[in-house]
Structure 1
Amino acid sequence: MAYVSIFRRTIGWVMAVTGLSLASFASLASELDPAAVQRGQAAAAICSSCHQQDGSGMNIPGGESWPRLAGLNSDYLIRQVHAFKEGTRQSASMMPFANILNDDQLRDVASYYASLNTPPKTPPAVDPTVLEHGKKLALEGDWSRYIVPCSSCHGPSNQGVGSAFPGLAGQHPGYIAQQLEAWQKGTRSNDPQNLMGAIAKRLNSDDIAAVSAWLATQPAQ
């Protein structure tokens, strides 16, 4: 019964979100307001120390990681900053900056980062066995433990779907791991119907390291 419940909740959410967003996903870049993108480039100066002006983010092995923002859905970015303001996401480094931007500035900054191409990067070398385990979790899941594959919500290539499911491919491994741990601890709780919270709690530390590493090796489109 648990299997059926998780499957129905996951598929239900994917259908609801993709039904509204997939049609517009391909044309997202062309729909961005050029004036907003230009304003956002200037306003993003306060974000660049962590996320970089090109939106590539930073990953410090064994330390904090700041996500790649380039190419992510603008509405998703807006929702995440509001989550920091509301307290459903926690980050000591992010909280002060989230409260600096008003809604107009936030829309502009989100438009700017959404307009950027994904910067190329070289993921860290990882044991092939670890990568294979991560690939299985990301694409097939582990139904014996009621772990849904990442691709069931984040898209066939984990490129993201609409404003609810961000692209994971090519994201920094440290950032992915940090977020899975945050859902485990309950310091992040802004996921639809607690889907990520429920899945994260079924992952062990080896699972998190593996799936984070494999997703980081995948190209972001």
Structure 2
Amino acid sequence: MKKSVAVLVVGFVSILSLAAQQPQQAPPGREPSWAFPAINGSLPAEEPSPKSLAGSTKSYTPAQIDDLSNPPDWFPDEHAPAPSIVQKGHGAALACGACHLMSGEGHPESAGMTGFTAAYIVRQMEDFKSGARIDAARMNAIAKGLSDEEIKQAAEWFAGQKPRPWTKVIEAASVPKTFVGQGRMRFVQPDGGMEPVGNRIITVPQDQQKARLRDPHSGFTAYVPVGSVAKGKALAETGGSGKTISCSICHGDGLKGLGNVPRLAGVHPIYVARQLYLFKEGTRNGGDAQLMKKPVAKLTDDDIVALSAYVASLTP
């Protein structure tokens, strides 16, 4: 059954001007910077006084908010009691709730954790621990620092969290100029300005200050190229005449997941793009990863942008 996808199309450009804006295809093995953010700027330091959020009885100083071993839990009544490792890290094993938030929705530079089965989450952690799945900046060290019981408890807790719409997908010819700041999050340049979106996905907080506070109620906006959602929909549904396969064969109706195969609907688009590149490059491995090797082998940069934009636009 066909599903309608509502997106906001910003601006109008001719075919010629769109073509002129498209950067060259990334060479094999290259990680595009929009998908793999690296810090290239910083925000002004926060005043050290305690911060608060509307509707929360909690307050935290900026130092407490940025403590990756003891993250803020602004709305503890909104979730079941969390296992210790979700809220309290130890050594290299940072608290899960720091990057993935206490809602489980996470930030684009990390990952959302909701809507997956516990078995799927455990399998990913085992792959990080063994090195079959590589994230040298964070997850390999974290996984190695966790016990099997901690992984099991965290996986079961996150599996119990319900996913909700978290990223608003907007098709646009031009996007705000941005930089990557603390925590590898992308922010809008304070002095303003616009630039062509090109063949990128630019994801920024809907409310920059709330994102810095790790507000579990404040999501993100993903700017994607004009026409990319429709292109991604066609590719996901038909396989593109043999270029890949229909995503729903494995990921289920509405791409909401099927058994221990993860959902794609509503997942952070730059996270999806990163995984597609990593599958292609061979840096995401493990038993189930082998199933993705053939479907991604022929995907171009354009295809990855389009698929990532489309799945992110779906209701989780």
Q: TM-score, normalised by structure 2?
A: 0.53
Gaps of 5+ in 1: 1-36, 60-64
1:86 to 130, 148, 161: 130
Match of 1:200 in 2: 296
Aligned equivalent of 1:185: 281
Could you say if the C-alpha distance between residues 156 and 120 of structure 1 is closer, same or farther in structure 2, counting changes exceeding 3 Å?
A: closer
- Greater Rg by CA: 2
Give the C-alpha shift of residue 134 in structure 1. Answer: 0.5
Q: Hey, which of these two has a bigger chunk of strand by percent?
A: 2
TM score, norm. by length of structure 1 = 0.75
Greater fraction of residues in helix:
1
Structure 1 runs of 4+ off > 4 angstroms? none
Identity, % of aligned pairs?
Answer: 32
| 1:98 paired residue number | 143
Partner of residue 140 from structure 1, selected from 230, 238, 244: 238
What pairs up with 1:143-182 in 2 under 5 angstroms?
Answer: 143-145=241-243, 147-163=244-260, 165-182=261-278
Q: How many residue pairs are counted as aligned between the two chains?
A: 176
* Distance change (3 Å), C-alpha of 1:70 and 1:192: closer
Does 1 or 2 have the higher relative contact order (CA < 8 Å, sep 6+)? 1
State the partner residue of 1:32. Answer: none
Distance 2:253 2:167 in 1: 22
Confirm whether residue 129 of structure 1 aligns to residue 227 of structure 2.
yes
Name the residue aligned to 1:43: 85
Alignment of 1:73 onto 2:84: no
CA contact (8 A) 2:251 2:258 kept: yes
Equivalent positions of 1:10-49 (< 5 A) are 38=81, 40=83, 42-45=84-87, 46-49=95-98
Gaps of 5+ in 2: 1-79, 88-94, 172-224
Number of the residue aligned with 2:204: none
What letter is aligned with 2:257? G
1:99-136 deviation digits (Å, cap 9, x = unpaired): 12211111110011011111332323124511111011
Amino acid at match of 2:308: S
Q: CA deviation at 1:169?
A: 0.4
Kept in 1: contact 2:251–2:263 (CA 8 A): yes
Spell out, residue by residue over 1:185-210, the C-alpha distance to the aligned partner (whole angstroms, 9 max, x if none): 10012253722111111100000000
